[in-house]
Amino acid sequence: MSIIKGFSVKCKLCNRNAVIYQRHSGRHLCKRHFIDDIYKRVKYAVRKYNMIERDDRIAVALSGGKDSVALLHILVSLYGHRRDLEFVAITVDEGIAGYREETVEISRRITSELDVEHIIVSFREHCGLSLDEMVKKGDKKPCTYCGVLRKHLLNKASREAGATKLATGHNLDDETQTILLNFLQGDVERLARLIPQRIQEGLILRIKPLREIYEREVVTYNLLNDLPLALDECPYSHFPVRAMVRDFIYEFEEKYPGRKFSIMRSFERLIPCFKHEFPQKDLNRCQICGEPSSKEICQACKLLEEIKGR
């Protein structure tokens, strides 16, 4: 897929000039038909997985990065007119100096423009320490603290905001990388945990409306809609194994367009198997914070106790 400028190829579906070439479908598309196609595929995924139901109040995890900004814009465009639905954006400020300020600001701006309720929760306020401070004090990798605590706070904040669903911006590239990575690592339990969850008390159901949309399409969508495109990578980001898998999938898709969909199809064909062989565990409540947890003390409290004891 590439954005076409300076010469005029016609849209496959109408007489307008194409703005992109969609490799997986072999079609040139104009702005309108590209955006229509994105909407169609998001709606299809939403229906297929029952992501949005009548009277839902949907929390949108809004980091301010390209994916979550596109997600919020798409959800509001597609479902904003529905009287029975409500949206609330939740931004977690982990406290990463020189990186997070810009995306928090983007989050404020986009929620204000789209007229969506916006809640900001910070590590500093809820955990007593920013991520930068945790990294200095603790002995774990930044992504361990961030991954566990962000998930913890997103669930807590969504629940406290009365949400029935929590939407995240994971796109087709993210999902296929995670699927393949777990498969390659022999971690079938973790692979099975990627399937849509069942309702459990205290746990807000997570949905991924962009799971069928290529990362490149997300970027194109933002460009065509003049949406902010924060492309800076987190300074702590360091995933060498995932990067290797990402690069392979990228090359594979380049040579054989549509293969990311194939990976997703393989995974989906296995969902009934996963449900049968790896049923989701019943969750307890953490004895410290009361959040849902498979253990007596949740991972977030464990990390925080450990770091505060130092």
Residue 258 or 290 with smaller CB distance to its own copies = 258
- Closer to its own copies by CB, 262 or 294: give it: 262
Which of 223, 270 has the CB closer to its own copies?
270
The label of the residue with tokens 């293969």 reads 259
Burial class (CB in 10 A: 0-12, 13-18, 19+), 189: exposed
Is the CB of 45 or the CB of 301 nearer to its own copies? 45
List CB contacts of 61: < 8 A, sequence separation 6 or more: 68, 90, 92, 154, 166, 167, 168, 169
Binding to its own copies by residue 251, rule CB under 8 A? Answer: yes
Nearest Cα residue to 64 out of 222, 300, 177: 222
Comparison of 39 and 278: residue with beta carbon closer to its own copies: 278
Q: Considering only residues 21, 39, 49, 183, which one is a binding residue for its own copies as defined by CB under 8 A?
A: 183
Nearer to its own copies, 49 or 183 (CB): 183
For 184, residues 6+ apart whose C-beta sits below 8 A from its C-beta are 245
* DSSP structure class, residue 185: T
Q: Which of 1, 143, 188, 194 binds its own copies (CB under 8 A)?
A: 188
Residue 191 Cβ vs its own copies, minimum distance, rounded to whole Å: 8
Query: Least distance in Å: CB of 265 to its own copies?
Result: 4
Whole-angstrom CA distances from 231 to 28, 104, 236 are 26, 14, 15
CB-based contact 118:111 (threshold 8 Å): yes
The one among 25, 50, 112, 185 contacting its own copies by CB under 8 A: 185
Residue linked to tokens 């969909």: 261
Binding its own copies (rule: CB under 8 A), the pick from 79, 145, 214, 274 is 274
- What mask of x and - would describe binding to its own copies in positions 138 to 177, judged by CB under 8 A? ----------------------------------------
Residues 219-248 interacting with its own copies (rule: CB under 8 A): 241, 244, 248
Distance CA 75, CA 215 (A): 17
DSSP state of 129: S
Q: Which is nearer to its own copies, 68 or 176 (CB)?
A: 176
Query: Closest distance between its own copies and the C-beta of residue 25, in Å?
Result: 16
Three-state DSSP class for residue 10: strand
Please report, as residue ranges, which positions from 252 to 271 form the binding site for its own copies (by CB under 8 A): 252, 255-256, 259, 261-266, 269-270
- The answer to whether 102 touches 63, Cβ cutoff 8 Å, is no
Closest to its own copies by CB, 93 vs 212, is 212
Three-state SS for 140? coil
CB of 183 to its own copies, least distance (A): 5
Instruction: State in angstroms the smallest separation of the CB of 198 from its own copies.
Output: 18
Q: Are 135 and 146 in contact (CB under 8 A)?
A: no
Number of residues lying near its own copies (CB under 8 A)? 30
Give the nearest distance from C-beta 257 to its own copies in angstroms. 13
Query: Could you tell me the sign of the dihedral formed by the alpha carbons of 27, 33, 34, 38, in that order?
Result: negative
What residue ranges bind its own copies (CB under 8 A)? 180, 182-188, 191, 241, 244, 248, 251-252, 255-256, 259, 261-266, 269-270, 272-274, 276-277
